[in-house]
Structure 1
Amino acid sequence: MDVPGAKRVTGRVAVALTLAVAALSVGVGILGIVDPTANFGPVAQYIPPAISQTAGFTGSLTGFLMVMSAFGLRRGLRVAWYSTLVLLPITAGQGLVQATPYSVPLVVLSVVAFPVLAVARSRFDEPISLSTSQLAAGGALAGVQAYGTIGTWALRGERGFTGVNTMLDAFYYTLVTSSTVGYGDVTPVTQEARLFSLSVLVLGTASFAVALGALLGPALEARFASALGRMTQSDLESLDGHVVVAGYGDLTEPILTELAASGRQFLVVARGGTDTSELRDRDIDVLAGDPTDEKTLDRAGIERARAVVTATNDDGEDALAILTVRETYPDVRVVAAATEQENEPKLRRAGADTVISPAVIGGRLLARSALGDEHAEEEAADLE
């Protein structure tokens, strides 16, 4: 049987191992650059210092890429899973080539992390979601770099640029020019080359600025959202022993009042719109999303929740939410409110542990009060 808790633990172990490999790759790589002499292991005598130093430099770069992959894994991105799966054998190979005592943990952790990552594959199924503006910004940045590299290569030597002998030199010049670094080791010597350099400078600077704005904008927006009282991913992950209120409606209000009075931490999962904005204005924790969606409920921390309450005005949606919870987390307690009395057995069959019909309770109290029961009004007041 597939246990969600075990999947989550395996995913966290995979992320932790990836971060550890990234840190070791950067550290061992820097040490390899400082001291490129390979002097440890059976292959050390066959590795020239230049190769070992190159492995150290590329190992540092690989380590930084691994850090990016680890953050992607933390978000559950499938593309990060693929990139990490590709990078782990590379870090292991770089550790072997560097052949120092410090590279042994790097090789070992890389080998250990690979099967753990493979086992946790189902944990990382989130597609990467890039907006049209982000795709356009990335395409513009790549296009400008390609334009500059090809143009610089075409104008190499006496035709335009001194110091450009390879395609890598052309790319290097394009990158340092468009990023406004400009070391001066590659120089345009003809009128055409100078005009071309100006075009690379203008287009490159603009593409970098647009790309940074498009890629960092959503992150800054998330920070502002957090400052305005919206829950961040770390806030959601810290929830434990809370009550999840799946959906929002007229029946939900007294539930929220009672939960707030009890001091128990709770989270409302509701579709985005006016309701979520109003709840946030009242300092109520809200997760905007579909309460019948498994991924949304997973973000709400259902597996760590004390109970789930469904009490919207739509029994059909409540039943679907209950089915989703039961399918994924069969052990969590589910309490439901039935708007229509005839739907009580249906909600029970869907998987609710307790089903309460406010209409039935209210009707019985009204009938008792009409028949002269003096305690009916008191009981109703206690329920308010």
Structure 2
Amino acid sequence: MDLPGVERVTGRVAVALTLAVAALSVATGILGIVDPAASFGPVARYVPVPVSQTAGFTGSLTGFLMVMSAFGLRRGLRVAWYSTLVLLPVTAVQGLVQATPYSVPLVALSVVAIPVLAVARSRFDEPISLSTSQLAAGGALAGVQAYGTIGTYALRGDRGFTGVSTMLDAFYYTLVTSSTVGYGDLTPTTQEARLFSLSVVVLGTASFAIALGALLGPALEARFASALGRMTQSDLESLDGHVVVAGYGDLTEPILTELATSGRRFVVLTTDEQSASELRERGVDVLAADPADDEALIRARVDRARAVVTATSDDGEDALVVLTVRENHPDVRVVAAATEQENEAKLRRAGADTVISPAVIGGRLLARSALGDRSAEQEAEDVLDDLA
């Protein structure tokens, strides 16, 4: 297998292992809370029961963080690679501290996942992209929590909050107040503290509302895009090992049929809005963009594609696509269809790895089949496999 293929498979294995570690971390943590007796493993005799139980609780939290990291890895995010690399040793240590038979698979899988993640590092190179509204919402939420925590701690004791003695107490009060949960176990006792609490309620609910809007807005947009048959940014980022079909024409339909039958994921780039709409109605992934535009090819994740196929029935357009792909993405395999036999050499000079003339091949196979050559049908199937 070639190196890109190895990296692609390793990347998928890294995501799968991360999800498996996340599930084991949550499950082991819950079992550790229910049965906290540390009695298994080399460190069992040194681990007090409260410590083992705490490790179970934190292990469950780490598991949920690992799930988030796994989804980030699926999108190819670099920050998710770093967070996973940090969390894997944490899950292994938590498994050791829990010191139960249930934690053995967690420790083993965490250790195995680390070198796999290291080998797959090049597969996770996408920067995290946050909009201005998302950054502002996150900053507002963090700022309000900091304001409330510091203010509550400053007003601790006789100044307004008699039940607050640590920064954790102050953060707890700020969080339950700003989120409008309000358990009532900590209450302001002075006029100054009550006024401060009112400001935390107003600012906290506003920041939570802004944060939810910034987070739910893109999710709702993705829902609408899915309902309309359009590819979302998340869909595009998940493309890996797919085939990019550049352009749409008379020769393209058999290619799509064969790719769909083979189970290979593919995305079609076309500027024909009517064809794009019809393909979307059939459930085909389509980008309404110029296939000869490198920006469109980048959006279609051509750098992670198994191959690019261009067969628009217009040899000039196909040659332009081949030139664009070969100039900016030299490692991607390019397959082109030549409508005119004399254009085969031109498409090869443009950079196509394989050039197929359907008319010429079809004529030859038909003639051989008419003469009783049974290998003609097998060769036809081999040609289709080459396209897939």
Residues 311, 318 of structure 2: 8 Å contact kept: no
Q: After superposition, what is the alpha-carbon deviation per residue over 1:274-321, rounded to whole angstroms, capped at 9, x for unaligned?
A: x3654433334412567436644546974177x443658667742433
Aligned to 1:135: 135
Aligned to 2:191: 191
Aligned to 2:336: 334
Please tell me whether residue 150 in structure 1 is matched to residue 150 in structure 2. Answer: yes
Aligned to 2:45: 45
Residues 307, 332 of structure 2: 8 Å contact kept: no
Aligned to 1:280: 276
| AA of the residue aligned to 1:75 | R
Change (3 A) 1:80 1:288: farther
Please tell me whether residue 220 in structure 1 is matched to residue 228 in structure 2. Answer: no
Q: After superposition, what is the alpha-carbon deviation per residue over 1:114-161, rounded to whole angstroms, capped at 9, x for unaligned?
A: 000000001111111111111111111111111111111111111011
Distance 1:4 1:112 in 2: 22
- 1:33 Cα deviation after fit: 1.5
Q: After superposition, what is the alpha-carbon deviation per residue over 1:157-196, rounded to whole angstroms, capped at 9, x for unaligned?
A: 1101121111011111111111111111111101111111
Aligned to 1:303: 306
| AA of the residue aligned to 2:277 | D
Aligned to 1:348: 349
| AA of the residue aligned to 1:335 | A
| AA of the residue aligned to 1:135 | L
Distance 2:12 2:2 in 1: 17
Q: Mean alpha-carbon deviation: is it higher for 80-89 or for 211-220?
A: 211-220
| AA of the residue aligned to 1:89 | P
Distance 2:82 2:289 in 1: 27
Distance 2:316 2:134 in 1: 39
Change (3 A) 1:288 1:172: farther
| AA of the residue aligned to 2:279 | D
Query: How does the TM-score come out when normalised to structure 1?
Result: 0.78
- 1:14 Cα deviation after fit: 0.5
Residues 322, 334 of structure 1: 8 Å contact kept: no
| AA of the residue aligned to 1:329 | V
Aligned to 1:119: 119
Aligned residues: 343
Distance 1:287 1:231 in 2: 7
| AA of the residue aligned to 2:336 | V
**Cα RMSD, aligned residues only:** 3.4
DSSP 3-state at the match of 1:161: coil
Q: How do 1:178-327 and structure 2 match up within 5 A?
A: 178-231=178-231, 244-246=244-246, 248=247, 252-256=248-252, 265=260, 267-270=267-270, 275=271, 277-284=273-280, 285=284, 286-288=286-288, 291=291, 292=294, 295-298=298-301, 302-303=305-306, 307-309=309-311, 311=314, 317-323=320-326, 327=330
| AA of the residue aligned to 2:335 | R
| AA of the residue aligned to 2:170 | A
Gaps of 5+ in 2: 261-265, 358-388
Aligned to 2:72: 72
DSSP 3-state at the match of 1:245: strand
Aligned to 2:26: 26
Query: How does the TM-score come out when normalised to structure 2?
Result: 0.78
Distance 1:137 1:92 in 2: 34
Q: After superposition, what is the alpha-carbon deviation per residue over 1:13-65, rounded to whole angstroms, capped at 9, x for unaligned?
A: 11111011111111111111222221111211111111111111111111100
- 1:333 Cα deviation after fit: 2.7
Distance 1:208 1:312 in 2: 55
Q: After superposition, what is the alpha-carbon deviation per residue over 1:64-99, rounded to whole angstroms, capped at 9, x for unaligned?
A: 000000011111111100000000010011111110
Distance 2:289 2:81 in 1: 25
Distance 2:343 2:306 in 1: 30
DSSP 3-state at the match of 2:330: helix
Residues 160, 189 of structure 1: 8 Å contact kept: yes
Change (3 A) 1:336 1:198: farther
Change (3 A) 1:308 1:315: closer
